[in-house]
Structure 1
Amino acid sequence: MTTAAHPGRRSVRAIPLPLWVVFGAFAGIVAGVVFGQRTSVLQPLGSAYAMMLQIAVYPYLLCALIYGLGRLTPAEARRLFGAGWSVYLFMWCVTLSAIWLLARVIPPTPDPSVLTAAAVHEDADFLKMLIPANLIDAVGRDYVPAVAVFAIVYGIAIQKIERKSALFEVLEAIQVASVTLWGWIVRFAPIGVFALFAAAAGTIEPSRLSGLLLYVALFLIGTLLLAFVVLPLVMASLVPSGYREIVKELRPALVIAVVTTLSVVALPFIQRAAERIADAAGCPDSEERSNVIKAVLALSYVLAQLGNYFLYLLMLYAAYEYKEPLSATEQLLLPVWSLLSGMGSPTAIVDGVIFIGRWLHLPAELTDLFLETWTVTRYGQVVLSVVGFGFATTLVPLIYFRKVRLRPHRAVVAASVMVAGFGVAIAGGLALRPLLLQPVGNPLQALTIDPNLARGLDVVVIRPPATAQTSVSPNADPTLAAIRASGVLRVGYNSDIPPFSYWNGRGELVGFDISFAYELARDLGVRLELVPYVWPDLERDLQEMRIHVAMSGIYETDERLRTLALSHSYFQSPLAVIVPSAQARRFLDHGEIAAMPGLRLAVRDGPVLLSMVNRLFPGASVTVLRGEDVLAALSNGEVDGVVWPLQQAGPWAEAHPGFTAVVPQHMRGPILFVYLVPPGALIFRHYLNEWLDLKASDGFRKAQIDYWIKGKPRSDRPPRWNLLDVLIGTMGR
């Protein structure tokens, strides 16, 4: 028995780590499909794995840069810099340019439907993120560029110190310890990957999958094109060895890096490959050549991690995914921050993601998005980085010893293949993009009345063109006793006030206020009749008691306070100005708007807001527009902006791309929303106010705000499809 068991143990141990990681990812996907949202309990385990990967990032980055630069003499450093700067600059430019080109496949980030002063990205303190005035503070804030600059400056300064061997032993020991620590942590990769994939597969919305596939495909295509086409062809045009010989020399390093998913293990193989190519090129076999190759190799592990720079692609995709448009300054600085944040080991990219994500104001779940895809993209990242090591460690010594010669024929072939390769990749991506990224419609059109509200409730919806004046007899007694005795609650609505009252994509009358109408009828134990009204007739409808209460995004005004009975305010919203998105930033301050010469504004929904806007903008020309005329007036430039409460302007802008609802700062208080009851219905108004207070305290109001205003899914919605629920349901039948 014992003898027979040993081969089984050996066969299990013989399975390479990457294959275990694949097993973990596959098992996680299966668990997510089977158990659905139950797998969210595994998310802390995946997060713990990500945090463990960060433990050794800064110790390694600091020691590697100081060690690689400090061990050179000033003369060697100057000569090596002269030989190497062009190589590194070429690699960086080619990699970042390739990423920029591939990112053309990602759709442009849509303009925000709502813009506030708080949401505008302030220009970051460039000097603070780049100059490490306080190293501890820079590490604590994840300012990776500042940490890298600190290490580079100290590495150069240490070149002038004579007695430094003891320091180098310590620095080298920390590097080795960091790699060892990562080796230990990577052993848990199958478990961490399982947890991340299970949580992702069990909770991710199907609509996000296609976008992630696009990002992963672009990542792998870009890294593999650079690793196996661009860089080897460029090397072949400068060294005696041809393309096939170069790939053959790099093959052992690539194999060991892919098997372990650690680029550091490829360094000895890269060194031997560089020495053989240097021999073929006629470089002298001397201690100087050996020192130069070792120094370049050490620096390359920090400066030539080309796969790390693909976090630039991640950020461009994340800006689209999370609908966070990048300013011109952010677009200009993003490649620089990606370059500085990508220095160090492949694992250092985790801190780079956190740093740049915070700088771009992207949500915290960006790290999870990165880790969910990193299991796949890591292979392309490591492969490209290993080829980057080989590129620098081969070419810099040859330039150092003046053994580089351009081969025009090979250079032309390299340029042609590069253009063709990326051209095909981009064209194919653009062709597939419509299939992967379906256009998203107006999200309000998918919202519905909570089935729990509608269950068992008798509801009659009178549809336009009927109105309260044409479909309902007057003198509906608005007292509580009369409503209960008749068994009917008549609620007036206007269906042009999203998200308070409107028709959804299925032709159903829905909205924040409609949900309140359902709840009010349920609590009164009566049938609900929803009666349409038009704004000019609303006051008369209430005075003639054709409806018991009007509930459709109605504002509190002085005129209504004088003539009608109003409930307490149940919602408030700041004023917003709907403008073309290209002009949105000009409307962020009330004073600046009021000072605009020839300002033309409009209001909608009748003259209710007219007097308020005239007071806020005394120098403006203000007109009243019908709802159906707003789009044409803005598109044709007839008005500069349309003033409307934010909670109504935002959904309108969401449904009309190219326009933004801007909330100017320093403007007067918010608009108050109320329900209207007939004049003299004091008992019913008192009941309505008490009822609204109850709905605020029992969580109903918050649930409706979360769903209709904030766009959050209902907490009691059915769980996402999963196989376990299907099997349980089948057995239950």
Structure 2
Amino acid sequence: MVKKILSMTSSSQMLVAMFIGFGVGLFFGESVGWLSTIGNAVILLMQMTVLPYILVSLIGGIGKLQKSTAVLIFSRAGLIMLLLWLLALAIIALMPLSFPFVESASFFSTSIIEPAVTIDYFKLYIPSNPFESMAAGYVPAMVVFSIAMGLALIGMEGDHKQQILTFMHTTSEIFSRITRGLVKVLPIGIFAMSASAAGTMGVDEFASMQVYLISYFVLCLLLTFWVLPWIIASLTPITFHQALSISKAGIVTAFATGNIFIVIPVIIEECKQILKEHNQLTDDGATLIEILVPIAFTFPNIGKLTVILFVYFAGWFNGTPVDISTIPSLSISGLLSLFGSVYVAIPFMLDLVHLPSDLFQLFVMSGFITGKFNSIAAVMNLFTLTLLTASLFHKSLKLSPARLLKMSLGIAAGIAVTLVLLRVGMGMFIHSPEVTSGVIANMQVADKVPTKVKRQFPELGKTPASPIANLDDIRARGTLKVGYIPSNVPFSYYNNAGQLVGFDSAMASKLAEDLGVKIEFIPFQKDKLAQSLKAGFFDIAMSGLAMDIAQMDKLSYAEPVLILNLAIATQDHMVNRFKSTESILALENVTIAYVEHSDTIEEAKKKFPNLEFIKIAGYKNFFRQKGDKYDAVIISAQAGSAWTLFFPGYGIAILEHSVRYPVAYAVAQNNQSLLNYVNNWQKLRKVDGHQDKLYDYWMLGQGATQVKPRWSIIRDVLHWVD
């Protein structure tokens, strides 16, 4: 068995390793999750020679060209290649339209408030210091530097040039030999990553991978069997049928072996033969084809560009789709980075659009399935480039407006039909995950003290007032009365069992426990907080209260319990419109609701005169509104994330200029003994980690769901382990 595997081609070994890895992962489950470490190590080894290889191969490959050949290739063939790249990048950017709509929401994460690292495009594209570009992994800058050196070498003569070219060729061969040696251990990495992924990845994540695989296969088939042959048929004397016929042998070979290099002789001969049949081949034209195909092979082909689709998928999979404004940057940077290995390009592009690097493992796991399909697109790309360039050289390229219109309509129709069928088809079989509201609606307060919850609001002038209770009075009474705001997720709200829960409800229960008393919760309205405290309706208000300057002379705030981040909650399709000052200023007929933060709202009214601000009684009035009375609401990122668990159709937009504010507990203005106790109690519970534990549970959702072990044969079928 082992001898058979070792005698296989490397691509076959990788496929076998992937399937064996899947089997091992399904059998052993989470116990093989550690294998990802081995997989990552192998991938890092594979990246070792990539950056220097780009340098020497581009310099040597371009530098050895004759000036006349270089002019021809970089002018005519270069222009055609560039146009084909742009077309492919545009089609790839459209493919995410086929991804099914999946409603999802998650607990607050600190990553959403981290400021996005601004991209230094000068460093990314301009190699002012080539050594820094190489050290920092700025692949586009390295490509620019390598091309510049190669072009400079073309104009040189003499032995010195030959010595440099010999050195570049020799060094390139060294790197190639190292890479060929490392490829022998790559199946080990594929096995390790596949086993780890199959053992730890949930069923929902596997289902989501179908979106990428299906859309990727369709993309490659669309390019290979419609877009590129249609271009050939529209602009050259060669018919659509002939374009498919001459490429058939090369496509089948590339798909079976995953190797484009071995198809180069086939492409050269087939191109010469079909042009000869149309009386379009001269001796110079034949020479052009023989030179062009090997040189074009060293540049990124359309098949290789299709891997950029993974980055769009990664954004969809992560719940943070790639923003339209970043598509040009991603496309250009992706193109230049693909002069090297995809194992460098994909992590680079994920980082460029601020997506987790861990998603790269999904790409590696699927790479040897998708590689078969991008090989056929690469072969058809070489056929198309060669035939268009040769036709241009022989002055038989047909560029009439009628033909260009026909070509454009044909391509557009093919893309439109494909996107619609894909969107409808995947939408029927790939559904949204389970409703997330069930998670937060079933959370409970862990600390158990005798609790009484009142739901009727006390009324000033009607409900009997009580003297303000100091600490001794509370202990003597045996009950701590806590004011709360109903439906103030995630600070105080009712769960599915009708219990009052939330971060501040849990903190209040712990405070009562530490005081050795029972607890009674009384609802209040925020605009009547000071009067309610003064009337003795409750001793302390604990319900996500933003500290309000206008209230500070009427009540006493304890030390801030949390620092929250101001954000905007709105429907998913509008989130991106609130992410920058420029886009907000461009909005028209938009109404923003708010509950508190009156001082911030006054500043916002001056800064954004195009918006209408309306105060509402509570956040539930926004999320449960009928119709579209309010377009968005100003809320903390922490609370907004919690509300989106109940309403997955909404999302959170973090303001361009971060705004933070404190929340605190409030007591009656003259209740100094209780204020002192609460301040000291908070310090203790912060230091001993109890407050952080509650924050992690209620805000970050850690422990909110019971994580079941990944299904595995060894546990769930054979029952060999618990």
> Do they fold alike, i.e. is TM over 0.5?
yes
Cα shift readout 1:162-181 (whole Å, capped 9, x = no counterpart): 33444434333333333333
Aligned to 1:65: 58
Q: Which residues of structure 2 form unaligned runs of 5+?
A: none
CA contact (8 A) 1:602 1:622 kept: yes
Q: CA deviation at 1:545?
A: 4.6
Paired residue for 2:151? Answer: 156
Find the aligned partners of 1:634 and 1:581 in 2 and give their Cα distance.
20
> What amino acid sits opposite 1:72 in the alignment?
L
| 8 Å contact from structure 2 (residues 457, 523) kept in 1 | yes
Contact kept? 2:439, 2:704, Cα under 8 Å: no
Deviation at residue 308 of structure 1 after TM alignment = 1.8
Residue matched to 2:511: 520
Mapped contact 2:468–2:668 kept (Cα < 8 A): no
1:571 has 2:562 as partner: yes
Specify every segment of 5 or more residues in structure 1 that has no aligned partner in the other structure, as ranges.
1-7
Map residues 283-362 of structure 1 onto 2, 5 A cutoff. Answer: 292-324=288-320, 329-344=325-340, 348-362=341-355
Instruction: Verify the 8 A CA contact 2:102 2:433 in the aligned structure 1.
Output: no
Letter in structure 2 aligned against 1:510: V
How many Å apart are 1:384 and its aligned residue? 1.9
What's the CA shift string for 1:118-138, capped at 9, x where partnerless?
74675x454443332222222
Q: 1:584 — aligned with what?
A: 578
Show the counterpart of 2:710.
721
Paired position in structure 2 for 1:185: 182
**Cα displacement (A) at 1:552:** 0.6
1:223 to 1:460, Cα distance in 2 relative to 1, 3 A: same
C-alpha deviations, 1:450-483, integer Å up to 9, x for none?
66x537x356463634669999997699676776
Please name the residue that 1:708 is paired with. 698
CA-CA distance at 1:92 after TM superposition:
1.9
SS in structure 2 at match of 1:95:
helix
CA contact (8 A) 1:145 1:341 kept: yes
CA distance in 2, matches of 1:459, 1:302: 75
Counterpart residue identity of residue 516, structure 1: M
User: What per-residue deviation string (whole Å, max 9, x for no partner) do you get for residues 549-598 of structure 1?
Assistant: 33111234467655555432211235556787576356589xx99xx9x9
TM alignment of 1:76-155, pairs within 5 A: 76-106=69-99, 119=115, 122=118, 124-155=119-150
1:310-351 Cα offsets, whole Å, 9 max, x none, are 24323333333445465665233433333322234xxx1232
Per mean C-alpha deviation after superposition, the further-off stretch among 691-700 and 438-447 is 438-447
Match of 1:219 among 216, 219, 227: 216
1:45-103 Cα shifts (integer Å, max 9, x gaps): 22222222222222332333333332222122223445423542443244223323323
**Matches of residues 649-664 of structure 1 in structure 2 within 5 Å?**
655=647, 663=655
Aligned 8 A contact 1:578 1:641 in 2: yes
Structure 1 residues 285, 56: closer, same or farther in 2, change over 3 A? farther
CA contact (8 A) 2:104 2:432 kept: no
- Which amino acid in structure 1 is aligned with residue 136 of structure 2? R
Residue 671 of structure 2 is aligned to residue 675 of structure 1 = no
- Determine if contact 1:308/1:343 at 8 Å carries over to the other structure: no
Q: 2:39 & 2:421 partners in 1: Cα distance?
A: 34
SS in 2 for 1:190: helix
Q: Secondary structure of the residue that 1:371 maps to in structure 2?
A: helix
Paired amino acid for 1:314? F
1:499 aligns to 2:496 (yes or no):
no
Report the alpha carbon displacement of residue 309 of structure 1 after superposing the two structures with TM: 1.0
2:232 is aligned with 1:242: no
CA 707–276 in structure 1, closer or farther in 2 if over 3 Å, else same: farther
Q: Quote how far apart the aligned CAs of 1:245 are.
A: 3.7
Partners of 2:467 and 2:652 lie apart in 1 by 42
Q: In the TM superposition, what are the counterparts of 1:360-379 in structure 2 within 5 Å?
A: 360-379=353-372
1:445 and 1:504 in contact (8 A); partners too: no
State which of 694, 703, 708 in structure 1 corresponds to 2:684.
694
Cα offset, 1:214, TM superposition: 1.0
Quote the offset at 1:105 in angstroms: 1.2
**Aligned AA (1:174):** T
TM-superposed CA distance for 1:722, in Å, is 3.0
Check 1:70–1:461 CA distance in 2 against 1; reply closer, same or farther (3 A cut). Answer: farther
**Are the aligned partners of 1:70 and 1:157 in contact in 2 as well (CA < 8 Å)?**
yes
User: Residues 442 and 685 from structure 1, CA distance in 2 versus in 1: closer, same or farther, beyond 3 angstroms?
Assistant: farther
Q: One-letter code of the match for 1:722? A: W
Q: Match of 1:695, as an amino acid?
A: R
What code does the residue aligned with 1:705 have?
Answer: Y
Cα distance in 2 for partners of 1:250, 1:576 equals: 55
- 3-state SS in 2 of match to 1:572: strand
Query: Alignment partner for residue 510 of structure 1, among 479, 483, 501?
Result: 501
| CA-CA distance at 1:186 after TM superposition | 2.5
- Render the CA deviation track for 1:16-50: whole Å, top value 9, x for unaligned: 44343333333433444455444442222222222
TM-score (norm 1): 0.79
Q: Residue 565 of structure 2 contacts residue 658 of structure 2 at CA under 8 Å; is this kept in 1?
A: no
Partner of residue 5, structure 1: none
Report the AA paired with residue 462 of structure 1: V
Q: Percent identity?
A: 21
In 1: Cα distance, 2:463 partner to 2:200 partner: 48
Match of 1:462 among 417, 432, 453: 453
Amino acid at match of 1:354: P
Contact 2:5/2:13, CA 8 A, preserved across alignment: no
Cα drift, residue 184 of structure 1: 2.5
Question: Where does 1:627-646 land on structure 2 (aligned, <5 Å)?
Answer: 627=618, 630=622
Distance 1:678-1:26 versus aligned 2 partners, 3 A rule? farther
Distance in 2 (CA, whole Å) between partners of 1:83 and 1:588 is 41
How much does 1:217 deviate? 1.2
Q: Give, in whole Å, the separation in 2 of the partners of 1:526 and 1:332.
A: 62
Deviations 1:382-426 (A, max 9, x none): 332233234434554565456778999999999898666544431
Question: Which of 424, 427, 451 matches 1:434?
Answer: 427
**1:573 partner SS:** strand
Aligned to 1:4: none
* Superposition map of 1:225-264 within 5 A: 225-232=222-229, 234-235=231-232, 238-239=237-238, 242-243=242-243, 245-251=245-251, 253-255=253-255, 258-259=256-257, 261-264=258-261
In 2, Cα distance between equivalents of 1:118 and 1:681:
39
Alpha-carbon distance in structure 2 between the residues aligned to 1:250 and 1:600: 59
Provide the secondary structure at the position in 2 that maps to 1:55: coil
Alignment match, 2:540: 549
CA distance change for structure 1 residues 406 and 659 in 2, over 3 Å: closer, same or farther?
Answer: closer
Q: What is the CA–CA distance in structure 2 between the aligned matches of 1:448 and 1:111, rounded to whole Å? A: 16
1-structure distance, mates of 2:603, 2:376? 65
User: Aligned in 2, Cα 1:220/1:176: closer, same or farther, shift over 3 Å?
Assistant: farther
How far the C-alpha of 1:427 sits from its partner, in A, is: 1.9
C-alpha distance in 1 between matches for 2:244 and 2:632: 63
Match of 2:545, SS state, is strand
- Alignment partner of 1:20 is 2:10: no
**Match of 1:3?**
none
Q: TM-score, normalised by structure 2?
A: 0.80
Compute the RMSD of aligned alpha carbons. Answer: 5.0
Q: Distance in 2 between matches of 1:165 and 1:313?
A: 41
Q: Which of 191, 197, 200 in structure 2 is aligned with 1:200?
A: 197
